[in-house]
Structure 1
Amino acid sequence: MNIEEVTVRQVAMKLKQPFQTANGLVVTRDTLIIEVYDHNGHVGYGECVAFADPFYTPETTTTAWDMFKHFILPVIQKAQIDHPNQVHRTLSGIQGHQMAKAGIETAIWDLYAKQHNKPLKEIIGGTYNHVESGVVLSLTDDLTSQVKTYMKKGYKRYKLKLQKGQERETVEQAKEFLGDWPIMFDGNGIYEPEDMLHLTKLDDLNLHMIEQPFRQDDFYYHHQLKKEMNTRISLDESVTSEHDAFQAIELDAADTINVKLGRVGGYEVAKMIHEYAKVASMPLWCGGMLETGIGRAHNVILASLEQFKLPGDLSESERYWEHDIIKEPFKVKDGLVEVPSKPGIGVQVDQKRLEKLTVRQFDFDMKTTQQL
Structure 2
Amino acid sequence: MIQTCVLHRVSLPLKLPMHTAHGHVREKQAILVQLIDADGIEGWAECVALAEPTYTEECTDTAWVVLTRHLIPRFARWLRQAPQPIHPSRAGEAFDDVRGHLMSRAAVEMAVWDWYAARTGQPLVDLLGGGRDRVEVGATLGMSDSLDLLAEAADAMVEQGFRRVKLKIAPGRDHAPIQAIRTRHPHLAMAADANGSYRPEDLRGLRELDGYNLQFIEQPLPEDDWFDLAELQADLQTPICLDESIRSERELRLAARLGAARVLNVKPGRLGGFGPVLRALRAAEQAGMAAWVGGMYETGIGRVHGLITAALPQMRYATDLGPSHRYFEQDLLKEPIGFAEPGMIEVPRCAGLAERVDRAAVHRFTTATWRADLTSF
Both proteins in one fold, TM over 0.5: yes
Superposed counterparts of 1:37-56, under 5 Å? 37-56=36-55
Partner AA of 1:135 in structure 2: A
Q: Is this contact kept in 1: 2:157–2:165, CA < 8 A?
A: no
CA distances 1:320-356 after superposition (whole Å, capped 9, x unpaired) = 0111110111112231111111212586010011011
Q: Is this contact kept in 1: 2:138–2:166, CA < 8 A?
A: yes
Alpha-carbon distance between aligned partners in 2 of 1:323 and 1:246, rounded to the nearest angstrom: 40
Match of 2:94 in 1: 90
Superposed counterparts of 1:173-322, under 5 Å? 173-322=180-329
Q: Is this contact kept in 1: 2:171–2:202, CA < 8 A?
A: no
Deviation at 1:224, TM superposition (A): 0.9
Alpha-carbon distance between aligned partners in 1 of 2:330 and 2:114, rounded to the nearest angstrom: 23
Residue-pair matches, total? 368
Partner AA of 2:241 in structure 1: S
Task: Please point out which of 103, 125, 128 is paired with 2:107.
Answer: 103
Asked if 1:134 is matched to 2:138, the reply is yes
Alpha-carbon distance between aligned partners in 2 of 1:203 and 1:190, rounded to the nearest angstrom: 18
Q: Is this contact kept in 2: 1:317–1:329, CA < 8 A?
A: yes
Task: Please point out which of 143, 148, 154 is paired with 1:147.
Answer: 154
**TM-score, normalisation: structure 2:** 0.94
Q: Secondary structure, in 3 states, of the residue corresponding to 2:356?
A: coil
Alpha-carbon distance between aligned partners in 2 of 1:346 and 1:76, rounded to the nearest angstrom: 21
Partner AA of 2:363 in structure 1: E
Partner AA of 2:138 in structure 1: G
Deviation at 1:196, TM superposition (A): 1.7
Asked if 1:12 is matched to 2:11, the reply is yes
CA distances 1:266-315 after superposition (whole Å, capped 9, x unpaired) = 11111001111222232101110000000000100011111111112121
Structure 1 runs not aligned, ≥5 long:
none
Match of 1:29 in 2: 28
Match of 1:337 in 2: 345
CA distances 1:156-185 after superposition (whole Å, capped 9, x unpaired) = 111111231121101011224433111111
Q: Is this contact kept in 2: 1:157–1:181, CA < 8 A?
A: yes
Partner AA of 2:182 in structure 1: K
Alpha-carbon distance between aligned partners in 1 of 2:46 and 2:319, rounded to the nearest angstrom: 18
Q: Which range is displaced more, 132-141 or 158-167?
A: 132-141
Q: Is this contact kept in 2: 1:147–1:177, CA < 8 A?
A: no
Alpha-carbon distance between aligned partners in 2 of 1:185 and 1:177, rounded to the nearest angstrom: 17
Alpha-carbon distance between aligned partners in 1 of 2:111 and 2:55, rounded to the nearest angstrom: 23
Deviation at 1:96, TM superposition (A): 0.3
Partner AA of 1:364 in structure 2: A
Deviation at 1:226, TM superposition (A): 1.0
Q: Is this contact kept in 1: 2:44–2:352, CA < 8 A?
A: no
Q: Secondary structure, in 3 states, of the residue corresponding to 1:105?
A: helix
CA distances 1:57-83 after superposition (whole Å, capped 9, x unpaired) = 111111100111110000011013511
Asked if 1:114 is matched to 2:118, the reply is yes
CA distances 1:119-168 after superposition (whole Å, capped 9, x unpaired) = 10000111111111011111259423332332123211111112311211
Alpha-carbon distance between aligned partners in 2 of 1:277 and 1:159, rounded to the nearest angstrom: 22
Deviation at 1:49, TM superposition (A): 0.7
Q: Is this contact kept in 2: 1:301–1:345, CA < 8 A?
A: no
Alpha-carbon distance between aligned partners in 1 of 2:347 and 2:192, rounded to the nearest angstrom: 26
The Cα RMSD (Å) is 1.5
Partner AA of 2:123 in structure 1: P
Q: Is this contact kept in 1: 2:132–2:313, CA < 8 A?
A: yes
Alpha-carbon distance between aligned partners in 2 of 1:352 and 1:295, rounded to the nearest angstrom: 17
Percentage identity across paired residues of the two chains: 35
Q: Which range is displaced more, 19-28 or 340-349?
A: 340-349
Q: Is this contact kept in 2: 1:44–1:108, CA < 8 A?
A: yes
Partner AA of 2:105 in structure 1: K
Q: Secondary structure, in 3 states, of the residue corresponding to 1:4?
A: strand
